[in-house]
Amino acid sequence: MFYWFLFLASLISLLLIFWRRWRLTIKSLDFEDKLKKDDELARQAAEQEEIIPQEEPSELELKRLGEQRDRDEKMKQMRAIKRAFKQAELHFAKNNYGLAEKHLMEVLSMDNDHLDANLKLGLIYLQQENLPRAEFFFQKLIDLKENPVYFSNLALVLYQQKRLDESAKLYEKAIAMDNKRAARFVSLAYVYHELGELEKALINFEEAYRLDPRNLDYLWTLVNYYEKFARAEDMLRSLRKILEIDPYNDKAKAKLLLLEEDQAQQKTETENSSEDGGNL
């Protein structure tokens, strides 16, 4: 009886083992079949993507993409210009004009109308006394934008080339745009002086003094002009102003003393002439 029980137990165990293996085999076959189906579906989807063309972007989308590319390119160029100009400024401040010129030319290769780069190049050539090149850049600046600084710089270049009439006209334009700078009136005065128009020169020195009334150089220049035109009262006033600013100026003291003595002598002679006329 025991053996029969043992036999039945072994038979049942074998049946369970075979059943579990069969179940595993079925699951494995199902899994492989599912993988094949998934692969087939993926292949069909890929073939369908190849067959069906992608939808082309609209005209508006293309326009926006183009505008974005343009903006990106412009920003990239602006950064490059800024870097090059910064390098130029550093070299310009150190009077390394050769290197400054190189970087400024790089700026102009990207933006030919860059005002500050053109101005710096003009100043470099002016400093190097390359007057034709300086004239080219200052004239270019005026063509781009009328500015009193550009007119003044071009006027200076023309003055150094002895083109005095042209220089005077440009200084006049600069002053008409901005009459708050004493140095501009002084520059124009020198031009008129060389042209032999001393009265116009004096008027411009007076304007310079009006803007900078404590400038001793301007006052001494006025004294000299007043002396040329025999304007004694104006000389006296200017000399006294010099001594207000510089009380220990021996030159002004001596000149004032001589002028006062001369004025006193003239007054005496005038009074004597009047008395003699009365006696007659």
CATH at 94: 1.25.40.10
CA torsion angle 28 30 35 37 (round to 10)? 160
- Report yes or no on 53 lying in a domain: no
- Report yes or no on 254 lying in a domain: yes
Question: 23: number of CA atoms within 13 Å, CB side?
Answer: 6
Q: Looking up tokens 């934008």, which residue turns up?
A: 145
Here the tokens at position 171 are 């200084």
Cα separation of the two ends of the chain:
190
- Report yes or no on 245 lying in a domain: yes
Q: In Å, how far from its chain's centre is CA 9?
A: 102
Cα–Cα distance, 196 to 266 (Å, whole number): 31
Domain boundary among 90, 115, 145: 145
Residues 6+ apart with CB under 8 A from 70: none
Cβ atoms 171, 155 nearer than 8 A? yes
Q: In Å, how far from its chain's centre is CA 272?
A: 69
- Report yes or no on 172 lying in a domain: no
Alpha-helical regions (H) of the chain = 2-51, 59-93, 97-110, 115-127, 131-144, 148-160, 164-177, 182-194, 198-211, 216-228, 232-245, 250-279
- What is the model's pTM? 0.72
Cβ atoms 249, 242 nearer than 8 A? yes
pLDDT tens, the chain, 280 aa long? 555 555 555 656 666 665 566 565 565 556 556 656 666 766 666 565 554 455 677 777 767 777 778 787 889 889 999 999 999 999 999 999 999 999 999 999 999 999 999 999 999 999 999 999 999 999 999 999 999 999 999 999 999 999 999 999 999 999 999 999 999 999 999 999 999 999 999 999 999 999 999 999 999 999 999 999 999 999 999 999 999 999 999 999 999 999 998 888 887 767 666 665 555 5
Q: What is the span of the domain harbouring residue 235?
A: 213-265
Give the pLDDT score at 85. 95
- Report yes or no on 134 lying in a domain: yes
- Report yes or no on 192 lying in a domain: no
- Report yes or no on 110 lying in a domain: yes
Q: At what angle do helices 216-228 and 232-245 cross, to 10 degrees?
A: 160
Q: Looking up tokens 């989807």, which residue turns up?
A: 45
**Total domain count, the chain:** 2
Neighbours of 84 (CB within 10 A): 22
- Report yes or no on 235 lying in a domain: yes
Domain boundary among 145, 177, 199: 145
Domain boundary among 145, 164, 179: 145
